[in-house]
Amino acid sequence: MKKCFDADKYLKVQKKKIEKRIKMFDKLYIEFGGKLIDDQHAARTLPGFLPDLKIRLLQEFKDNAEIILCINANAIEKSKIRADHMISYETEVLRLIEFLRSKGLLVSSVVITLFDGQKKAVDFANRLKDYKVKVYFHTFTKGYPTDVDTIVSEEGYGANPYIKTTKPLVVVSAPGPCSGKLATSLSQLYHESKRGVNAGYAKFETFPVWSLPLKHPVNLAYEAATADLNDKNMIDYFHLEKYGVAAVNYNRDLETFPVLKEILHRITGKNVYYSPTDMGVNVIGECITDDKAIKKAASDEIIRRYYRAVTDLKKGLVGPEVPERIKLLMNELGISEKDRIVAGLAEDKRESVGNLPSACIKVGKKYVTGRKTGFLSPVSATFLNALKVMNKIPDEVDLIAPMVLEPILEVKNKTSNFKESYLKLGEVLSALSICSTTNPVVKKALESLDKLDGAELHATHMISDDEMIILSNLGVNATCGIEIDIN
């Protein structure tokens, strides 16, 4: 995919934007929405945007910034899972702490929000002692969301303990949505005000992009990504009324802004923001270098989201309204699932091999297919075929000999409660790694794995979670059909 987003320009312009906002206050609490690390949605929608770009941005402020991580006690109690990595929210918090610290960034504290005595939340707080991070418990804010008098009082935000911070920029982030970032930020503003500190609030959201048209594919891709939350992009009517400028925001921010504005006024004694757009600091729109290419990338992302929503529906993870919402977005743009070429070719392959589960991957400009074999899952077979094509290895050459695969499969089924008639991608990669120590052809093939970054793949069956995670880690944009049993 052609790069159509200038990451270097973004870092420079975004840094200046945040610096300008910091200068308005003695201390700035900035709520970071979306994924702090591994932002694959942004990378797919804005080719050229790097998954770790937000971390690079924060490193520009590392001497003057610290990070507060929020996690909802109910998410801990319910063992809520991040679908992209299939790990719990609390595990993601631990991962964030370790990763951010490895990049020289200060994670000063973790706030467990909506705490009401949940045992698992207490257990998690005890685990955090090993990470030498201060833990705070915040309860539900009394009076929220309508009783501003109570919210901005000792019974409301004042009932939460003050989180000690030492830097002029405090980033408030979380492992996922509904973690209490806003409430934590506002609670801090209340306490800072009581201490005579001129503290401010700002919001960092990658999407929707306020300066792009309402129906721009990039903004519609955000709606597709949040279809399970039923987020809707809207013109910021507060911004339009105040400045006469059309800006894009989304329904939840617009609905809560009047209360938020009043809360901020009660705490600070002044009006700093007159619209949700005013609160934001993101400059994404200024760094797009090829709008036509961006529109194509975003449209492709919407189609991928549709396939994933259909799969999630089959798994029982979402209701039928989620793929229906995305389908309506596709109709608005005049695109359909048939525009995903790898999906059509995967289906063609399945029909040509007697209805065996199949897959297709696009690497560069080449389309490579594969099918379930006696030893390999459709994804594994297609993956091996792709390595051959990328390295000009003849098709008849086995990167892994059947005599190697067979005993691996036998041992797998002897040690597993669930019998499978094939090896999945992770197992095949392990076998390739072993074979590469004695086979230079296999070694060369493995060295080309980075060329799969940005590849498109579709399988006619439901890809397992562990294979999906590996594909994602390799940078492969994978979708699948809804067949479940491929044994």
DSSP code for 38: -
Q: Assess contact for 409 and 375: CB atoms under 8 A.
A: yes
pLDDT tens digit string along 138-195?
Answer: 999 999 988 999 999 999 999 999 999 999 999 999 998 889 999 999 999 999 999 9
How confident is the model at residue 486, as a pLDDT?
Answer: 37
Task: Name the average pLDDT for the chain.
Answer: 93
Q: How far is CA 386 from CA 171, 359, 360, 399, 452, in A?
A: 42, 11, 9, 11, 9
Return the closest-CA partner of residue 39 out of 71, 79, 80, 7.
7
Backbone dihedral angles phi then psi of residue 276, each to the nearest 5 degrees:
-60, -35
Distance of CA 11 to the CA centre of its chain: 20
**Token pair in block for residue 220:** 């519609």
Q: Where are the beta strands (DSSP E) in 157-314?
A: 169-173, 199-204, 233-235, 248-250
Tell me the C-alpha distance between 368 and 370, whole Å. 7
**Per CATH, is 340-482 categorized as 3.40.140.40?**
yes
Distances 299 to 85, 146, 161, 222, 472 between C-alpha atoms, Å? 24, 39, 45, 11, 19
Look up the CATH number of domain 7-287: 3.10.630.10
Block means of pLDDT (10 residues each) for the chain, 487 residues, are 91 97 97 87 94 94 97 93 80 95 96 97 95 96 94 97 97 92 97 97 95 97 94 96 96 94 95 96 96 97 96 92 97 96 97 96 96 91 96 90 78 65 88 91 94 95 92 94 53
* Domain coordinates in residue numbering, the chain: 7-287, 340-482
Instruction: Read off the tokens for 372.
Output: 């379930």
Q: Rounded distance, CA 169 to CA 186, Å?
A: 15
